[in-house]
Amino acid sequence: MPDGPQTPRMFGTAGIRGRTNIDVTPALALRMSRCLGDHLGNEGNVALGRDTRPGSDMLARAAAAGLQSAGLRVQDCGIIPTGGLATWIREKHCDAGVLITGSHTPPDRNGFIVMMEHGGYIPDDEAVVLEQMYDAADQRAETIGADRIGACILARNPLGLYREILLRSCDLRAVAARKFRVLFDPCNGAASYVFGPLFEQLGVAGVPSNAEPKAVPDRATEPRAHNLAKVAARVAAEKCDFGVATDIDADRVLFVDDTGRVLSEDLVGALFARDVLKKGSVCVTPINSSNLIEETCEELGARLEFCRAGQPATVQRILELKADYAYEESGKYYFVRDAAWCDGVLATVKMLDLLVRAGKRLSELADEVPRYAQVKEMITCPDGAKATAMERIRAIWEKEGLEGRRGDLTIDGLKRSYGDRSWVLIRKSGTEPVIRVYADARTEARARELVEWGKGVVARATGSGQ
């Protein structure tokens, strides 16, 4: 057996992902759900949720069947954001949860996500156990008889419970008194059922964009700046205080300030850090976050701890370190005092609360934050070839790019930091058939220089001829 912890084969940084009905099939959902039931001892309550994309209902029904056949009681929450299902799991004391969502990926892809009793994603060590059970599913120790088959019931008003908990996370009267106007774009996904009623309860004038639930959304599914030009223009044209855009399951969120400027995820991460952290606080962030968070934590006297990319690793470090706050550069924010998971809708409520207490516009707060530039590139690499490619990349990495080096971090890919507060990162994606090359620096020119060097290393290692 190899040294160190095993890495899941099927579960990536955000559950099992793949093409709907080709890679992620009803048979997979049924079999893995049955394994989860066996893992839980063939008893207990499991919450089930899904997003709006094609095939999510089909996969959810298969998951329900697998869970029931393993003796579990299923509480079906229907179409619900990630944060909503996590809230239901925690508040209703469920033993686990299964969420069918492709999150930010194109609508022809889907995912199977296992959530734990605290609402966060399943950690890697338990995912490995499930995969081993999946491989040996034909040799189950026991088959549940008809007298022990679990029931499947419709959860009673899960979105209402979700809104109720969200309202507790801010100063409701102060937010209502500010009379905010906010554009919300849920990408025609699960949060389409949440933002409108929530804003009404908050006394916020909501301006909808792509807010009708649809199987295939009207904009690109990933909330990144290059996908949101029309949304950003509307924020300024509609004279909104700010705008928010989520992915289909609303765990990610991007913010647009009152001038129509799309704010970087790292900048917003620093704004929330300034609001949450204090001297002695612990902040967790993956290795691909900007050095802006390092500078922010130094300024506040907070302790910064890095982790591998992805929600399982982030949540695990939050729980291990009893962290006060965490964020991921993909637009995922963890307000640990409220929830052990990332939630784009909760982040929106927290932004309202922050602006009330700051007494400033979002653009003013953003202008107070030091500027860093990031350049991000992806190089296609088949999933089966990524491990070998990374071995070859490492061999080059260890001999080159050493001038001005401050230190290396290899907990997830290869990250090298330099004395001028810049870094370059090469890592294989956990959700897509690509190798990512990222760089972060005080200037875009320096970040571009590092990315080009990294791309050259990948090209030489893979023979891509780049």
Looking at the annotation, which residues are catalytic?
Answer: 103
Pair type for strands 45-50 and 73-79: parallel
Distance (Å) of CA 221 to CA 60, 190, 210, 282, 433: 21, 12, 11, 32, 18
Tokens representing 133 are 């059970």
Helix runs in 301-343, H state only: 311-321
Give the DSSP letter string of 92-144.
TT-SEEEEE--TTS-TTEEEEEEE-TTSSBPPHHHHHHHHHHHHTGGG-S---
Query: Residue 67, CB half-sphere, CA atoms under 13 Å: how many?
Result: 27
Reduce the DSSP state of residue 234 to 3 states and report it: helix
List the 303-307 sheet strands across, edge first.
303-307, 282-286, 325-328, 332-334
Tokens representing 74 are 């299923």
| Cβ contact 60:48 at 8 Å | yes
Burial of 298 (0-12, 13-18, 19+ CB in 10 A): exposed
From CA 340, how far away is CA 343, in angstroms rounded? 10
